[in-house]
Amino acid sequence: MIIVTGGAGFIGSNIVKGLNDSGREDILVVDNLESGQKFLNLVDCQIADYADKRSFIEGIRNGEFGNEVEAIFHLGACSDTMNYDGLYMMSNNYEYSKSLLHFCQQHAASYIYASSASVYGAGPVFREMPEYESPLNVYAYSKYLFDHYVRRMYDQRTAQIVGLRYFNVYGDREQHKGRMASVAYHFTHQYRESGHVNLFEGIDGYENGGQLRDFVSVEDVVSLNLYLLENPSCSGIFNVGTGHCQSFNDVAVATVNRCREEEGETSLSLAEMQSQGLLRYIDFPETLKGKYQSYTEADISALREAGYDRPFLTVEQGVSRYVGRLLEKLDG
């Protein structure tokens, strides 16, 4: 059996679908469906069972699960970087992760968990080493602390442990995330509703919309997770990004041009979109100043050295594909 926590969420549900596509249906999905709209992410998935997060944690601690568990993909966490409830964040992200780690070690099950690129803070070096880590909020700190917990017991592990530091993931099944959904998702809806998209003005020395992030498609995220399941000898903490940063302007251009393509219109350059008012720049929020990553770029050398050699989609490739699928649903 494979367990996917956060299995109704964004990355989790994509992993469930990826497991289905690889022939696996012996999947226990664990989540909290108090926000009921997430169930839509599982409608086209085949699973063996569903468990509420709270009863699942109790079951883990009471020994209700055993050696039948082959692997746990742990995506269950609060991912809202603007949630400053430290008590909740540490219980939900840190203690929960520890309980599952110890379960997997006890039962020799693979443990593939979601860390975050937010542990690096403002950077500018994004390499999986403690000296480059400086979280800017309690969400990032919860991920940072668990990675350090893993490092302390790593040499005594009895089964695969993999921490994946996700950079800016975008793609299908994120519609429930609200303001935490990707900019590609928001740009698509803004353009369809108003004929333009809004980006932040420049900050930290960057031009308007010029802040740089490592945007990675959830398609690539799923491929990596399935690879790790198939290669249980691979352990470690790895960055998950393309290894090449691109600007928010790049995402906006890819989004608008795919929308224009669907409407039978020609593609435009960044300058043309700016001059026509298709891209508009808004004030940078005061609440984000000093807490915002204006630049991220994953160093994926450790991932490559571990044997993962598949290419990653660029913004132009991945965003265009994703926006095309979004538009199909909106028009369906």
Q: Kindly tell me the sign of the dihedral angle through the C-alpha atoms of 72, 74, 76, 77.
A: positive
C-alpha triplet 135, 113, 124: angle, nearest 5°: 30
State how far the Cα of 3 lies from the Cα of 82, in Å rounded to an integer: 28
Instruction: Pick left, alpha or beta for residue 195 (phi over 0 → left; psi -120 to 50 → alpha; otherwise beta).
Output: left
User: Is the Cβ–Cβ distance between 147 and 119 less than 8 Å?
Assistant: yes
The catalytic position among 96, 111, 120, 139 is: 139
Active site residue 177: yes
Helix (H) or strand (E) holding 4: strand 2-5
Burial (0-12, 13-18, 19+ Cβ within 10 Å), 157: middle
The catalytic position among 50, 94, 177, 292 is: 177
The DSSP-derived string for 43-86 is: TT---SEEEEHHHHHHHHHTT---TT--EEEE--S---TT---H
State how far the Cα of 174 lies from the Cα of 105, in Å rounded to an integer: 31
State how far the Cα of 130 lies from the Cα of 148, in Å rounded to an integer: 8
Whole-number Cα distances in Å, 26 to 5, 64, 70, 314: 14, 17, 10, 33
Q: Tell me the pairing of strands 279-282 and 197-200.
A: parallel
Catalytic residues: 139, 177
